[in-house]
Each structure stands twice: as structure tokens, then as C-alpha cells.
Structure 1
Amino acid sequence: MSFDFEKANQSFDSLPYTERLKSVGNLAKSTLTIVGKDKDIVKPWIRMVVYHSIMITFIFAGFFLWQYNHLGYALGSFFLGFLLFLYKHFYDNKQEMRMSWIVYETVIGNDPSYKGATTASKELKWHIRKIAWIDILMSFVNKSKFFGGGIIKMLIRLFIAGLEEVWDLANHYLLPSVAVDKLDITSAVKEMKKLKERVPESLVGIFGIDFLGRVVRHVTIPAYTILFIISAALGYFGSELFPSSTIDIGGDDVAFSFVPIIFAFWVGKLFSNIFERTVTGIKVIYFTVFYTKITHPERIRDDMQEDLVDYLKLDPVEEVDNLEEQEVVQE
């Protein structure tokens, strides 16, 4: 893998754009190689992609219906999309917890199923809800930085006192600490502050690194730019084909349709949704493996010990052709 580890230690965000994409691609490939031994690992990812796609479609359908003057249906579509938007943190955390559990069971040599992950997550549903609420609160705190202070912001900061400074770390390690060891959120946060002392020397350099950085934004912005240019041209030259509005440009009334732009951004959002969920899945897998390697290295199956270290160091790992060959190696 052509990956500059020194730069990664400083910040993955410092990598050139092309090198970042190549590194993420190699990381995704290594992820499939290491933990792609159980097809159930991708099932939570599929459910998250479908959920967010439905949510996005309802929202954009509202804009389409509005353009065609179906105001009642538009409001209904907006409302359904809004409900799904409100619930997404809870749904995502539930699926991420299930994915983390499946990954852990896989690397310790078991044969987990999505049904088993569902059963395991039911025992952790209160923890999942608390993590979801923390996600919502932290999102509000981060966004409120752009809107100044206020009593609500102060109360939220008081409620999550002591967590904000470790949130970048907690965001990566909280899920596996709950999924693997069933720790309570408070205990998990306290334990995470001590984790660094237990990190193997070979892995100290990447402890706490958000190695994917802002890669989603760097990938999606060019795509959105191209889509906007194409759709704006269609909106202007094809104004007679779609519902259009009159725009005053330099004193002249110009017919323009927003339908192509809405369609283009809907397609773009669906694409970015798949990419974002993929990045999330990779991070859940990566940090579940990392957590297991730090806290329970003796549980990891023998034939994966060396490969997992290479994987965590973002080094290339050798592909194994099939599960039967792996079983022979293990024996």
C-alpha cells in the first residue's frame, strides 16, 4: 500500500487528495480481506444505506411534488422524511452496534449471524439509545458554535461535562466497548481514558487518529459541482419541458426550471449517502478490531493475529482465497 505512515500520524487530512482516495480504497480492500469472512458483516451497512436512501427520497419527493403544485402530498412527504431524519441517530447506532458485534465474533473465530447480532443488541438497547442521544447533543453543540452561546447550549455542555474533550476518541471506541464488553456508557468513557496505556507499542502511533478525515466532503463536493452545472443548464435550456419559474436577470425575465436541479441533487445525495455509510462501516470495523486487539488480544484467532496488526497499521494484508484454506492454516 502506498501510504505515508508519518503523514498519517500527523493527520490523514494532510495527505494530497489523490493519495487520500487511493489510501481509502486500499483500506477498504484490506477491510474486506480481513473481516470479509462473514457475509453478515455487510447486512447492517445495507440496512443503513436503505434507510437513509428512503429518508432522502421522501425529502426530495417533497420538492418535486411542490414544483408540480401537489402541496398536500409535498407536505406529507416532507413530514415522513423529517420523522426518518429524527430517528436516524437511533437507527444508525443500532446497526453500527450490530456490525461491531459481528466483527468481534468473526475475529475471535466464531460464526456470527445477523440474527444473533439482533438478539445481542436487544440486551444493549438502553446503551444504544444513550449513545444516540449523545450523538444528537454533540451535533447540536458543534453546530451551535456558529450561533453563539445561550442557556440551552450551556445546559447541554453541563449535561455532557467531561465528555466533549474526549468525544473524538469516544466516537471511535464507544461502540465496541459496549458491543464487546457490554460496558455502561459512563464506565466505557472512563475506561477509554486509560486505553492508551494498553496500546501495543507497534500501534501507538495511530491511536485516536480519525484516518478517514474529511474524505467524504472531498469526494462529494466535486460531484455536486458537476451535477449542479449540468442540471442548471438543463433547467435553462429545457424550461419548456418542466414546470418553470420566471427569474429576473439583469432586467430580463428568464424562464428557468428547478426540477433538473432537484433531480441532480437527489441523485448526488443518494451517491454521497452510499459513500458516507461505507466510510462509517469501515470505521466501525477498523475500530472494533483495534479495540479487540487492545483489550482482548488473546481471544483473536491465531491465523489472524499477524494480519490484523498489519491491517491496523494500514499496511497491506495478504488475501486468502477461501475459508477452507484459512481453516487449514489455523489447524
Structure 2
Amino acid sequence: MQQHLRKPGIGERLGQLAYLLKHTFTIVGRDPGILRPWVRMAIYSMVMTTLFFAGIFSIVIGAYGFGALLLVVAVCMFLYKFFYFVRQELRQSWLVSEALQGRTRSADEAKARVREVRSTARRIALIDMLVAWMLSMARRNGNAGRLVRLFMRGIEEVWDLVNHYLLPTTAVDGCNVREGIGRMKALRDNVPETLTGVFGIDIAARAVGTIMAPVYALLVLLAIGLGLWVGDSIAAFYVGDLREMLGDVEVDFLPEVMHFSWLPLLVVLWMGKLGSVVLERVTTSVKVIYYSIFYMRITHIEEIIPEIRDDLDSYLRMEAEEVTPVAGQDAPQPDSAG
């Protein structure tokens, strides 16, 4: 598997994400319900992030009990998110497979389908949690050798690929984790020649970090400016004179006294994190949709409605051709799918 994993450069990552954002929702645009799992995951992430920052704010202003409660809830949501996200991604994958076959399914039908594979969903979530924990420990351990960090990065990339193929094998065909992993070799061996170059591609790898890095830099500069403007007006967030914090650094053009508050820094970090988690959910949903289409193209090509089969190859290769909506111009518009 690993020898087929291709890691794109920064420019290619952003180009992939731009293409997929443009064309993915064209393919599934006739069934808006496919986007509902993304909406749920984005809202969940925003609530979790807001509770975390609200907890810090509450503790700083002296509401220790309330702040601690908010932090505990945020931590619980962080742990539960692995299970919640997997269920939503399975729903999305199944809805995509049904749309490719010309069928529009409701939210209740998607929920019922995921309930049928709930044990596999839990196992995928537990593996996802374990991988995330291992990566976190490797990053925090400053003594970890370069080989260890490279190994963990390889684990992260391989699991990301395996995870996104496990979702459609589970949602569409009801495979468990072992069966899904075993099927991946057969999938690889049966990829059409025109698509062999994209089977193991790491779609939009680290695109969120690439996009958000300059945003965070601008937000921090804005926070410093606002922190100086707020100054010592809010005692709980006042940290002192910025010139004293700079120590021996002499900057002649700065005022002699620069009162600084870190409240704006907390606020802009919260705003930046909100943008980051929403973009991360967008990227993940695009990947779920992409790999679900790939899986259907390889394993269930005869079940895909004929008028879009040729367009799918262009989409999967991320070529410039326009893609036809899966359900045609006269497809019904559902109110409650997803």
C-alpha cells in the first residue's frame, strides 16, 4: 500500500482542494442532503472550540467552577468527536453511493444504514483515536528521534488513506475493518488503467495548515495591536508593559510605556480556530465524497447511472472538464436528506 502513496507539494495540495471544492458539489449538487453531515460536523467542531475558549475566559475572570465545567465538556466533546465524525462520514459516503445510482435517500435512511454497521464504525473511530494519540505523543516528545517522527508521519498518511477507503467499504458493502483492509489490495489491483495514478494520492494533504498559517500570522499581529489598544483597561487580562516583556531588546521608535492585554489574542485565536475547524471539516467531507466515488467507480461501475460514468473518470483524475450533476436536471430536491 505504502509504495502507492504519493504526497503532493504545497501548490498541488491547494490546486487539488480548489478543484474538488469546485467540482465535488457539482457532482452531488442534485442531492443537497449529502452536505448535511458536513454541516453537523462543522457545528459540532465550532461548539467544541467555543466551549474550550469560553472555559479559559471564565477561569481568567474568576468564574473558576463554571470555567472548569466548560473545559470538561469541551474535553468530553473532543473525545466523543471521533465516534460522531465517523458516523457522519459513513452517512455521507452512503448518500454519495446512492446518489451515483440515481437514488435520493432521507436522513432517517442514512441513519438506519449507519446503525447497521455501528460496531465497525466504533472500531474505525477507536483506531482513529489511537493514531491521533500516538501522533500527539510523538509531537510532544522533543526527544523523539527523526526516524520516529518520520515513521509516525508515514503512519498518519497511510491511515488517512486507509480510513477514507474503509468508509465506503463499510457504508456501501457492510465490510468490517479486517475485510475492508483486505479488500484494498483487490481494489488496487482492479483500478482502471486511466486511474492508476490517483489510487494512492494523498488528496489535499495538510491543505488546512497551509491555508491557515498566514491567516494565523495576520491574526496574531492584529491581536498585538488590539492588545495595546485595550491596554490595562481590563485588569484580569492585563499582563504588563510590552517593553518590559521585550527585555533588553531596544526599539527606539516604540513609546516608553506600552500596556498590553492578552484578551484580543484569546479572541482572535478563537476566531482563527473556528475558521480552521470549519475548513478542516470541508476538506474531510470533500475527501469522503471523492473516495466514495472512487470506490463506486472501481467496485460498482455497473450500478452507476450511465450518463455520468464517463465524467467520473475526469473528475477522479481532477481534470478540467466540466462534470454532469448525478441526478440530471429534473432530479427531485429533497428537504431532509442527510
Q: What's the TM-score, normalizing by structure 2? A: 0.83
Q: Name the residue aligned to 1:53.
A: 46
**Following TM superposition, by how much is the alpha carbon of 1:140 offset from its aligned partner in structure 2, in angstroms?**
2.1
1:274: how far off?
Answer: 1.1
Instruction: Give the distance between the partners of 1:203 and 1:319, measured in 2 at CA.
Output: 17
**Match status 1:300 vs 2:304:** yes
- 1:292-331 CA distances to partner (integer Å, 9 max, x unpaired)? 111111110111101111110101343558956467xxxx
Question: Structure 1 CA distance, aligned partners of 2:261 and 2:224?
Answer: 8
Quote the residue 1:183 is aligned against: 175
Deviation of 1:68 after TM superposition, in Å, equals: 1.7
Residues 57-86 of structure 1: per-residue CA shift (max 9 Å, x gap): 000001211232222211111111111011
Is 1:97–2:90 an aligned residue pair?
yes
CA distance in 2, matches of 1:213, 1:107: 26
Q: After TM superposition, give the deviation of residue 99 of structure 1 in Å.
A: 0.3
Give the superposition deviation at 1:213.
Answer: 1.1
- Shift of the alpha carbon at 1:107? 0.3
Percent of residue pairs identical:
36
Alignment match, 2:152: none
**Residue matched to 2:8:** 13
Distance 1:234 1:73, change over 3 A: same
Change (3 A) 1:24 1:267: same
Tell me the matched-pair count. Answer: 306
Write the distance in 2 (CA, Å) between the matches of 1:271 and 1:35: 24
Contact persistence 1:52–1:273 (CA under 8 A): yes
Measure how far apart 1:184 and its partner are: 1.1
2: CA distance between counterparts of 1:120 and 1:255? 58
Q: Distance in 1 between matches of 2:157 and 2:7?
A: 20
**Structure 2 runs not aligned, ≥5 long:** 149-154, 249-255, 332-338
Question: Which residue number in structure 2 is paired with residue 246 of structure 1?
Answer: 240
Please tell me whether residue 208 in structure 1 is matched to residue 212 in structure 2: no
Aligned to 2:130: 137
3-state SS of paired residue (1:172): helix
Alignment of structure 1 residues 198-277 onto 2, 5 Å:
198-242=190-234, 243-246=237-240, 248-249=244-245, 250=247, 255-277=259-281
Q: Distance in 2 between matches of 1:215 and 1:165?
A: 13
Kindly provide the amino acid, as one letter, of the partner of residue 310 in structure 2.
Answer: E
Whether the 8 Å CA contact 1:235–1:258 is kept in 2: the answer is: yes
Contact 2:87-2:121 at 8 Å conserved across structures: yes
Q: Which portions of structure 1, spanning 4 or more consecutive aligned residues, are displaced by more than 6 angstroms? A: none
Which amino acid is 1:246 matched to? G
1:156 match: none
**Relative contact order: is structure 1 or structure 2 higher (C-alpha 8 Å, sep ≥ 6)?**
2
The one-letter code sitting in structure 1 at the alignment partner of 2:193 is E
CA offset digits 1:216-241 (Å, max 9, x no partner): 10101110110011111111231134
- Give the secondary structure class of the aligned counterpart of 2:83: helix
Which residue is equivalent to 2:151?
A: none
Match of 1:313 in 2: 317
Counterpart Cα distance in 2 of 1:203 and 1:73: 54
Q: Return the offset for 1:131.
A: 0.3
Is 1:173 matched with 2:165? yes
> 1:6 is matched with which residue?
none
